[in-house]
Amino acid sequence: MLGFGVGLRAVHYPDILERIANRTLCVDWFEVLTENYMVDGGRPLRVLDDVRASVPVVLHGVSLNLGSTDPLDDAYLEALVRLADRVEPAWISDHLCWTGVGGTQLHDLLPLPYAADVVVHLADRIRRVQDRLKRRIAVENVSSYLSFEADEMSEVEFLVAVAERADCGILLDVNNVFVSAHNHEFDAAAYVDAVPAQRVFQIHLAGHSEQGPLLIDTHDHPVRDEVWALYERALRRIGSVSTLVEWDDRIPAYDRLEEEAQRARLAAETTKPSAAEGSRVVAR
Ligand SMILES: [Fe+2]
């Protein structure tokens, strides 16, 4: 349990470094977008080293391309190992999706059919990544806007099947559950209730926006009240779990972001788990 964190964003570097120096930082850890720091030098890497000297960090990637039929990207994995050796993250996460095929990166988190053969394919690739990194990773549920005729199970059944077969962790994005539940008309509470608590390394909270009949996972608003309620439901089941507020577009002043993380802390402090916490699956 790392506590409550926010993303490490370049626009906030001066605020964050100042708060670390003054010992006035109100968050416990930072999530780092892996690909932004897979470089040999420069200011972002220097800032990351400075932040990491005082605060835990977690690496969160968008390019493992776990769901693709392309071979796993060896050069990417090598760069990930190097970055992990440098910053010693509490854990490494990526998404349950595909992001490219035929050597082309599409820079989007694209949905997969929820089918048994896709579970096997994903779990096999996650296991190979974990073997290479010598640690468990956490995979995040993405929001989606379409479903496939080939679907054989619900999204949460798919998530659980992959996590169990790969023996990996889960990064439960509560906002993504809410957005997809609205778009596909499933029960968000039942989804949260079906996630194996012992596998949840981390929770994401974020804001979304409305576009016609759809909710879109835009990360450009405060967390909505309905998502806070779903978060509290997850806390009652899972117990205390490292939580991060994502805000990636129309990024507010750093103070506002910390306020949102403090709201998560308050929610966790005032929400009692409904069952005794069992033993957790750990990153390494
Ligand atoms: Fe997320």
Residues 201, 170: contact at Cβ < 8 Å?
A: yes
Flag whether 177 is in a domain: yes
| Token pair recorded at residue 175 | 């906002």
Cα of 42 from ligand 1 centre, angstroms = 27
Cα of 4 from ligand 1 centre, angstroms = 14
Residues 146, 111: contact at Cβ < 8 Å?
A: yes
CA gap 268, 256 in Å, rounded: 19
Cα of 173 from ligand 1 centre, angstroms = 5
Largest CA distance in the chain: 56
pLDDT of residue 19: 97
Is pLDDT of 229 > 70? yes
Is pLDDT of 276 > 70? no
Cα of 191 from ligand 1 centre, angstroms = 16
- Report the chain's mean pLDDT, rounded to a whole number: 95
Cα of 201 from ligand 1 centre, angstroms = 13
Q: Supply the DSSP symbol for 163.
A: H
Half-sphere exposure at residue 177, Cβ-oriented, CA atoms within 13 angstroms = 29
Flag whether 282 is in a domain: no
Is pLDDT of 39 > 70? yes
Lowest mean per-residue pLDDT among 13-17, 100-104, 278-282: 278-282
Is pLDDT of 272 > 90? no
Cα of 143 from ligand 1 centre, angstroms = 9
| Token pair recorded at residue 70 | 């392309």
Cα of 205 from ligand 1 centre, angstroms = 7
Is pLDDT of 109 > 90? yes
pLDDT of residue 94: 98
- Helical ranges in 3-101 per DSSP H: 13-22, 43-52, 74-87
CA gap 249, 207 in Å, rounded: 10
- Helical ranges in 88-215 per DSSP H: 116-133, 155-166, 174-184, 188-194
Task: Supply the pTM of this predicted model.
Answer: 0.95
Cα of 219 from ligand 1 centre, angstroms = 9
Flag whether 284 is in a domain: no
Q: Supply the DSSP symbol for 277.
A: -
CB proximity list for 14: less than 8 A, separation 6 or greater: none
| Residue 95 bridge partners (DSSP) | 140
Closest Cα partner for 202 from 246, 161, 157?
246
Cα of 171 from ligand 1 centre, angstroms = 8
- Residue 171 belongs to a domain with what CATH number? 3.20.20.150
Cα of 109 from ligand 1 centre, angstroms = 11
Flag whether 171 is in a domain: yes
Cα of 252 from ligand 1 centre, angstroms = 18
Flag whether 274 is in a domain: no
Distance in angstroms between the alpha carbons of the first and the last residue of the chain: 14
CA gap 193, 240 in Å, rounded: 15
CA gap 10, 7 in Å, rounded: 10
Flag whether 257 is in a domain: yes
Flag whether 237 is in a domain: yes
Task: Report strand pairing: 209-211 vs 214-216.
Answer: antiparallel
- Domain that includes residue 9, residue range: 4-269
Cα of 108 from ligand 1 centre, angstroms = 13
Closest Cα partner for 61 from 83, 88, 28?
83
| Token pair recorded at residue 41 | 């030098």
Flag whether 278 is in a domain: no
Strand (E) or helix (H) holding 202: strand 200-206
Cα of 102 from ligand 1 centre, angstroms = 26
For tokens 């509560």, the residue is 174
What is the C-alpha R_g of the chain? 18
Residues 156, 110: contact at Cβ < 8 Å?
A: no
Cα of 236 from ligand 1 centre, angstroms = 20
Cα of 246 from ligand 1 centre, angstroms = 7
Number of structural domains, the chain?
1
CA gap 270, 275 in Å, rounded: 15
Is pLDDT of 13 > 80? yes
